[in-house]
Amino acid sequence: MIATHRGFQRRYFFNPDFDSLTTQDIATFITAYSNGSIKPFFASEEPLEDSQQRHIKYIVGKDHHRWVTQDNDRYSMVLYYSGRCAQSAALMPLFTDLAHELAADHSIMFGLFNVDENEVDNVKITVTPTLRIWKKGEKDHWTQFNFSGQKYDADTLQALRDWHKLSTDEENDYPVRDEL
């Protein structure tokens, strides 16, 4: 069963024995769904063993909250991409270059999240590529940049560098630009 609630599409599995399926089985499932006792299914790849040692984390559905919302000691900059998206492929080298350039800065975590293979509860990505930046200490708020239809070049990379400079400035430690 697929249900849409508050703009999020969620899947719930109903796997009865079809040889003995009754209307009561269906009614029980619907009741359990309605009262919230059935948890939705979210696709996720298995976490990579060596992702902790990399300066760009490959984040999967199962460990998204651990890397992004539970790590309050640093900023989290996550690029949500699709392997089928030409714009994601065009932005990936710039994102990777920035992560390599800022690898020594331990106040920021860079992550990649493949939306084709992974899902996360309460994270709605409607366009790829999307870049979200969570402020350290305030992981319930984020700044989002949608890159749909944009050209990626040195100006994009410079805008991300500028964001980093603003975010690490002691007098102004929050990004003030809403767009790149």
Alpha-carbon span 87 to 180, nearest angstrom? 15
pLDDT in tens, 21-75: 888 988 888 888 888 888 877 778 887 776 555 778 889 988 888 777 666 678 8
Same domain, 12 and 92: no
* 67 in any annotated domain: yes
* 174 in any annotated domain: no
Does 76 or 150 have the greater pLDDT score? 76
Domain that holds residue 146: 49-168
- Residue 176: the pLDDT is 41
Share of the chain above pLDDT 70, in %: 70
State the pLDDT confidence band at 161, using cuts at 50, 70 and 90: confident
Same domain, 115 and 141: yes
* 176 in any annotated domain: no
Residues in the chain: 180
* 39 in any annotated domain: no
Using the predicted structure, report yes or no on whether residue 81 has a pLDDT greater than 90. Answer: yes
Contact 113, 59 (CB under 8 A): yes
- Residue 114: the pLDDT is 93
Residue type at 106? H
Question: Residue 6, by phi and psi: left (phi above 0), alpha (psi -120 to 50) or beta?
Answer: left
Using the predicted structure, report yes or no on whether residue 154 has a pLDDT greater than 70. Answer: no
- Per-residue DSSP letters for 23-86? HHHHHHHHHHHHTT-SPPB---PPPPGGGGTSSEEEE-GGGHHHHTTS-TTSEEEEEEE-TT-H
Same domain, 161 and 87: yes
Same domain, 54 and 14: no
pLDDT in tens, 88-109: 898 888 888 888 888 888 888 8
Most confident range (mean pLDDT) of 24-28, 46-50, 147-151, 167-171 is 24-28
- Residue 178: the pLDDT is 43
Same domain, 133 and 162: yes
Query: Residue 139's domain is classified under what CATH number?
Result: 3.40.30.10
Same domain, 74 and 102: yes
Same domain, 74 and 121: yes
Q: Which residues pair with 5 in a beta bridge?
A: 8
Total tally of structural domains belonging to the chain: 2
Model pTM above 0.75: no
Does 86 or 15 have the greater pLDDT score? 86
Residue range 113-131: mean pLDDT, rounded: 86
* 132 in any annotated domain: yes
Alpha-carbon span 43 to 135, nearest angstrom? 26
Same domain, 148 and 117: yes
- Residue 29: the pLDDT is 84
Using the predicted structure, report yes or no on whether residue 112 has a pLDDT greater than 70. Answer: yes
Sheet with 138-146, strands from edge to edge, namely: 56-59, 108-114, 75-81, 130-135, 138-146
